Structure 1
Amino acid sequence: MTELTELLSELVRVPSVGGTPAEAGIQAMLAEWMRETGLEVDLWELPLERLTADPAFPGMEVPRERAYGLVGRLPGTGGGRSLMFNGHVDVVPPGDLAAWTDDPFSGRVEQGRVYGRGACDMKGGLVAALLAVKQLRQARLRGDVLVACVVGEEDGGLGTYGLLDRGWRADACVIPEPTGLAVVPANAGALTFRLRVTGQSTHAARRTGGVSAVEKFLPVFAALRELEAARNRDVDPLMHAWDLPYALEIGTVHAGDWSSSVPGELVAEGRYGVALDESPARAKAALEAAVAAACAADPWLAAHPVTVEWWGGQFAPARNPDPALTEALAAATGTEPARWGAPYGSDLRLLAAAGIPAVQYGPGDIDLAHAPDEYVPVDEVAQVSATLVRLATTHCG
């Protein structure tokens, strides 16, 4: 597994946090690897201004001056079905460095694991796909095999949106996100929102003369918790693996500008789970109604209602539209893999909306993604790569 661990460690050592120069730089590195491997390579600069202006653009949470798309193509001999492997190269920031055992981008190999930010989510899966395509060069398949390296998955789906805009398509797609070797044919959705709570500022020593925006946020927060509970009482059987399939969480709260003042405004941002088969518009309406009801029950908020803004990544829920692909992937594992719907959004919904059947299957535990000391087991990466080879052999002919 020397080639596997060396390539994975090399990619993890690239700090390709979304929106940073390294997110663009890793694409050039991967393009060179593809050329050396003998793939046809399409590396292009994404037209950010045009894409982000499109009403259907899925959202973006970090600024980008440049971003690149990348596809490697192993051409078939003709007459077979095509297969795409789609993996994102962007990673989330490492967070508190003190929580890590060593450098978050060390790419350390220890006890059969590769450590570092992005090892699990999802450079391990990407390496599995890259090595699968490399092995398939000897197979002389009839259908094309594509490996798409995309950016911006973590904050909306820019890369896959740009991939489809470029005109790339396939008859089926596997996304090697970390699923712990489970087959995942569906994703919940996730919407990013912002709340603005108005108070009335004054000196803290005379706080009764003002209105604390923090205090007025509390009934709104309670209403959101009640909404979350109601939305998780009766869920699709695919989501029974999770205690809270459609989570609603406030991730950031900012209020006031001085310690001895009553805060006159609070801004809270959060993430809101969308149920399978639920439209984002319906989900938004439910949250807006819950906020409005909380405001109506409070005299101050009734006169100064909380505003709701929808911004950043907007992930619709999605299902794989072709059960045959799910069955073929499960068969290719050579086992009886677990099957469930993921409680988070992914690029699956963009591919499915474009008419491309897509399923997630990859190495690593999703609980390790975005966490300190993130890692992926090397043997799982190898296992996924072998499964992708078997699937391509049967699917592409």
Structure 2
Amino acid sequence: MSQEPPALDPALGPVSLTRQLCDIASVSGDERAIADAVEAVLLERAPHLSVVRDGDTLIARTELGRERRVAIAGHLDTVPINANLPVRDELDAETGEAVIRGRGTVDMKAGVAVQLALAIELVEPAVDLTWIWYDHEEVSSDLNGLGRAQRNRPELFAADFAILGEPSNGTIEGGCNGTLRARVGVHGKRAHSARSWKGVNAIHRAGALLQRLAAYEAETVEVDGLAYREGLNAVRVGGGIAGNVIPDRCDVEVNYRFAPSKSAEEAVAFVREFFSDADEVEIVDLAPGARPGLDAPLAQRFVRAVGQTPVAKFGWTDVSRFSALGVPAVNFGPGDPQLAHADDERVPVAQIESSYAALRAWLSGDL
């Protein structure tokens, strides 16, 4: 017997809706209940939207014949809960502002709440809208619901501009850095540690690579007026098989964050050249960045609606998936991205309200 989805009431506004959404546990892989709840409220209260479901991803679209279309997306899943649900209302000890504290408040159910409230409210927006709520963002990219739905139903994702509701402190973060992970292997020769001169210690050989990484100074690269900070870092080291054996292999896992002015191929070439003296360089994960997406008139009017100077997004986000489709995209949502995944995750109520107001004004054409 199927269970009724939890009831959502967008009429209470995005702040109350944030609490409701957060209290539906939706750790990656367990998004069915929240997807059911969002689908139920769309079908009940948004007859102006056509709704398509792909797994636990929902795509809701207006079909008003407007000249331009905007896609607005947010993910439904969170990282694991750690005694931080249900949410609670507090005054922040440092700022004194009203906050909602708990898992998902920042990453990113406050953004999802803003989107869902507006999706139901805006029956006659100034542009056609594609609203997207998707699963499996916090895990391996091959499981990502946005990517899956784009592959399955590409026709639903055509747009002139896109917004991802990732936390950005209520300002616009343009584009995103690309990310690459590589396994850099160094070989040696096994020997008994009592006769170490008979072998070649791969861990010792890897020391030169680690010293080079430690000395590397990351660049700041300006792209379309925004400054993107790059980074090249060892994130994991492994080697050795026993306490009395000289290791014949050492692997250093490296993460390279590169500015969106570089292509994925250029990033790979840089890493291979940087570690040209290694025995192996295997690229194990690669995702291109996205340029700021602020050149289009739609984006410029959005900047005016928000009223703050855009900044660069250092981390990788799913704006890259829109950029790969030729759709300029930005990040915009309530919450401090530095609190994402933290056990004391909390979002200021004022940021939820201001993000909602700016997005509503822009989409309504009240500028």
Q: TM-score range by the shorter chain?
A: 0.7 to 0.9
Counterpart residue type for residue 72 of structure 1: A
1:71 Cα deviation after fit: 0.9
1: CA distance, partners of 2:280 / 2:15? 49
| Secondary structure of 2:356 counterpart | helix
Show the counterpart of 1:351. Answer: 322
| Secondary structure of 1:318 counterpart | coil
Structure 1 position 32 matched with structure 2 position 19: no
1: CA distance, partners of 2:186 / 2:79? 28
Structure 1 position 196 matched with structure 2 position 185: yes
What aligned pairs does 1:314-333 form with structure 2 within 5 A after superposition? 314-320=287-293, 322-333=295-306
| Secondary structure of 2:159 counterpart | coil
Per-residue Cα deviation, 1:226-258 (whole angstroms, up to 9, x for no partner): 4x41x5065447444x7xx11122222232343
1:278 Cα deviation after fit: 0.9
2:339 to 368, 382, 390: 368
Per-residue Cα deviation, 1:293-329 (whole angstroms, up to 9, x for no partner): xx2xxxxxxxxx4312222352333231643122111
Show the counterpart of 1:43. Answer: 53
1:343 Cα deviation after fit: 1.3
| Secondary structure of 2:141 counterpart | coil
Show the counterpart of 2:14. Answer: 4
Structure 2, unaligned runs of 5 or more: 1-10, 92-97
Structure 1, unaligned runs of 5 or more: 46-67, 98-102, 296-304
Structure 1 position 211 matched with structure 2 position 196: no
1: CA distance, partners of 2:85 / 2:243? 37
Structure 1 position 280 matched with structure 2 position 264: yes
| Secondary structure of 1:363 counterpart | coil
1:8 Cα deviation after fit: 2.3
1: CA distance, partners of 2:205 / 2:43? 58
1:187 to 168, 176, 190: 176
Show the counterpart of 1:256. Answer: 240
1:24 Cα deviation after fit: 4.8
Counterpart residue type for residue 156 of structure 1: S
2:76 to 80, 89, 98: 89
Per-residue Cα deviation, 1:189-220 (whole angstroms, up to 9, x for no partner): 11122223333344444444433333222211
Per-residue Cα deviation, 1:54-79 (whole angstroms, up to 9, x for no partner): xxxxxxxxxxxxxx331123x35434
2: CA distance, partners of 1:318 / 1:352? 8
Per-residue Cα deviation, 1:136-166 (whole angstroms, up to 9, x for no partner): 13xx336432210123444437333333331
2:106 to 107, 120, 132: 120
Show the counterpart of 2:57. Answer: 69
- Check whether the contact 1:238–1:341 (CA below 8 A) recurs between aligned residues: no
Counterpart residue type for residue 11 of structure 1: L
1:40 Cα deviation after fit: 3.0
Name the CA shift for 1:340/1:210 in 2 (closer, same or farther; >3 Å): same
Q: Larger strand proportion, structure 1 or 2?
A: 2
Per-residue Cα deviation, 1:315-374 (whole angstroms, up to 9, x for no partner): 3332316431221112222x3x02112112222222123232322221111211233322
Give the TM-score of the pair, scaled to structure 2.
Answer: 0.82
1: CA distance, partners of 2:80 / 2:326? 32
Q: Larger helix proportion, structure 1 or 2?
A: 1
Per-residue Cα deviation, 1:112-153 (whole angstroms, up to 9, x for no partner): 22233432122221111111222213xx33643221012344
1: CA distance, partners of 2:188 / 2:85? 43
Higher deviation after alignment, 145-154 or 197-206 = 197-206
Show the counterpart of 1:59. Answer: none
What aligned pairs does 1:94-173 form with structure 2 within 5 A after superposition? 103-111=83-91, 112-137=98-123, 140-141=124-125, 143-154=127-138, 155-156=140-141, 158-165=144-151, 166=153, 167-168=155-156, 169-173=158-162
Higher deviation after alignment, 360-369 or 103-112 = 103-112
Counterpart residue type for residue 57 of structure 2: G
- Check whether the contact 2:177–2:315 (CA below 8 A) recurs between aligned residues: yes
Show the counterpart of 1:58. Answer: none
| Secondary structure of 2:327 counterpart | coil
| Secondary structure of 1:387 counterpart | helix
Give the TM-score of the pair, scaled to structure 1.
Answer: 0.76
Give the aligned length.
344
CA RMSD of aligned residues (A): 2.9
Name the CA shift for 1:237/1:316 in 2 (closer, same or farther; >3 Å): closer
2: CA distance, partners of 1:311 / 1:93? 25
